[in-house]
Amino acid sequence: MKITPLGDSALTVRVDDRFKDAPEKTLKEVLNVVRRLEDAHIPGVIELAPAYTTVGVFFDPIRVINCAVEPGSVVEWITQKICEGLAHGKRKQGGRAVARVVEVPVCYDPEFALDLDHVAQHAQMSPKEVVDLHRATDYLVNCIGFTPGFPYLAGLPEKLATPRHATPRKEIAAGSVAIGGRQSGIYPLRSPGGWNVIGRTPLRLFDPQTNPPALLRAGDRLRFQAISRQEFETWTF
Amino acid sequence: MSLSLTRAGFLTSVQDLGRNGFRQFGVSLGGALDVFALRVANLLAGNDESDAGLEITLGGLRMRFEDKRVIAWCGGEFDVRVGSTPLPAGHSCLLNADDELTINQPKVGCRAWLTISGGIDVPFVLGSRSTDLRANFGGLDGRALRDGDGLPLGKQSEFSRSLIDLLREQRVASWSSPAEWSSSAKTETVLRIIRGVDWSRFNDVTIQRLTRDAFVVSSDSDRMGVRFDGPELRRNDDVDLVSEAVAPGTIQVPPNGRPILLLGDCQTIGGYPKIAHVITVDLPLAAQLRAGDRVRFSEVSIADAYRFLLERERQLERFRIGLSLHDS
């Protein structure tokens, strides 16, 4: 495990360099690092930011220095605290460690599925076959990013992998379910984007008025459930 | 009590020290792009350092207040006036009800932070009053301010009240914050950097270019990042990197070779190589960059980055104590 500075107010804990080999195992390890570092309560640490193979550890250098640390030794000090936290953390597998399974309703109506034909053409399948394959698959939330609440999903069947658009669309509707290369994701907010849109969910993936503000978090399992246009319009939470 | 904006300016938003704790959900830090300027201006207005103020981009504001308030501002070389009286940066100033405050275009720099005693009292969203302009929440209705907006002001501190009393004759305080704090814009900017994790993915010629050449700020820069038109930086390898955490100050190099210096509204994760990071004490300079400005980068050690930061924090502590002596 390598720990490197990310500027002067954060460090990156690198769990693995080779993500593609074993995504699930790597993700588990990343989330394990997050839990252990949460439990370590390292002075000055503000928050943790997990991604595919890394955990960003954001800290306040002044608070670290106020723990009688020389300015020249801040990185060494906090690195040591991280290593201690990882070595001594022995939180039981439980609580958040158990993966949640979230069902996400998707309407694949042509009005929403702007790129369904394109994806079908690329996969040499019919649009219906694309939809059936897409919703018959279990996905894993690798991390949240790009915009608040945007889940990067692993598990897309290889057949459905479709390169992203060379020129991104200026605006993609909130709730759009999309394919970008070998990844799949859901746009929580209206935003620009270059992925292939194949449907839309009525679920709200990001709501700043709730805590936590995002429906999904890294480590969640996700399944898409096809709904009709009628169900989409009348969906209640 | 409130303030009303007759003219909201080019891009004005409510900002505080930013939104921590939600990076794992993809929520940006946000906040004032120069948090130090906001802290200093808040102290001058008798506020808590973490109170919300206005981040002003390129000026163009006119506003009035319903009651007596102490205000202060820090940032670029803006022309700020109360009626016809010029109000220099880094000074506490008394505004009476119905005085008009005008903030015109800066001669040098890009942004300023204005604080008002009592702070701007919009609701906290995810622990902060900052406006997230990309995800549209926080601040006033999650958006940039518009002509005709009114903003609620909070209850003034005892210290603010005593400042109002103290300034009733002279209006503008005779004391001020150190000039280099209140006026952060430069015509020739040098940003100090430390190495990023991908520094060694770039060859010696490219690194020399990074540390010797002047980079020109592009017009498509915003609160997410400062983009540079050139010179271009090329990588040795074309390894596909996996996205990981980035932070304000990170300098990314996308495939087109034109570096991007990330600012407060940057995404939480990114997949471009991180060649270097601007040190925290120099982020105020980065927040003043505008299209056409020339910037150089100069490498320092991370230990020096912490020494500079600690020194500035100690000076701020002395300033805070000195300021409290005016409370009598």
- Domain coordinates of chain B in residue numbers? 2-184, 189-308
Contact A148 B302 (CB under 8 A): no
Q: In this model, does residue A94 exceed pLDDT 50? A: no
Q: What is the pLDDT of residues B157-199, one digit of tens each?
A: 999 999 999 999 999 999 899 888 888 888 889 999 999 999 9
Average pLDDT over residues A122-150: 95
Per mean pLDDT, which of A77-91, A97-111, B259-273 is the most reliable? B259-273
Contact B246 A6 (CB under 8 A): yes
Q: Looking at residue A92, what is its pLDDT? A: 52
Q: Looking at residue A19, what is its pLDDT? A: 61
Q: Nearest CA of chain B to the CA of A132: how many Å?
A: 29
Q: What is the pLDDT of residues A167-218, one digit of tens each?
A: 889 899 999 999 998 889 999 999 888 999 999 999 999 999 999 999 999 9
Q: In this model, does residue A101 exceed pLDDT 90? A: yes
User: Which of B19, B23, B220 would you mutate first to test chain A, the one with the most A CBs within 10 A?
Assistant: B23
For chain A, positions 29-58, list CB contacts with chain B under 8 A: 34, 46-56, 58
What DSSP string runs through B230-257? ES---BS----PPPEE--TTEEE--TTS
Task: Provide the mean pLDDT of chain A.
Answer: 92
Q: Are strands B225-230 and B69-75 parallel, antiparallel or unpaired?
A: unpaired
Q: Looking at residue B236, what is its pLDDT? A: 85
Residues of chain B under the 70 pLDDT cut: 327-328
What DSSP string runs through B105-159? --SS-SEEEEEETT-B-PPPBTTB---BTTTTBSTBTTB---TT-EEEB-PPPHH
Position A22 confidence tier, pLDDT thresholds 50, 70, 90: low
Looking at the DSSP bridge assignments, the partners of residue A100 are none
Position A95 confidence tier, pLDDT thresholds 50, 70, 90: very low
| Alpha carbon distances (Å) from B263 to B14, B188, B218 | 16, 19, 14
Position A221 confidence tier, pLDDT thresholds 50, 70, 90: very high
Q: What is the CATH number of domain B189-308?
A: 2.40.100.10
Position A3 confidence tier, pLDDT thresholds 50, 70, 90: very high
Q: How far apart are CA B299 and CA B211, in angstroms?
A: 7
- Closest-CA residue of chain B to A147: B26
Q: Looking at residue A166, what is its pLDDT? A: 83
**Model's pTM, two decimal places?**
0.94
Facing B242 at nearest CB: one of A19, A55, A212: A19
Q: How far apart are CA B301 and CA A71, in angstroms?
A: 11
Q: How far apart are CA B304 and CA A140, in angstroms?
A: 42
Q: Looking at residue B150, what is its pLDDT? A: 97
Q: Which domains does chain A have, with CATH numbers?
A: 2-96 (3.30.1360.40), 99-233 (2.40.100.10)
Average pLDDT over residues A105-123: 96
Q: In this model, does residue A98 exceed pLDDT 70? A: no
B274 close contact with A: CB closer than 8 A: yes
Q: What ipTM does the predicted assembly reach?
A: 0.96
Q: Looking at residue B110, what is its pLDDT? A: 96
| Alpha carbon distances (Å) from A99 to A69, A144, A201 | 39, 15, 22
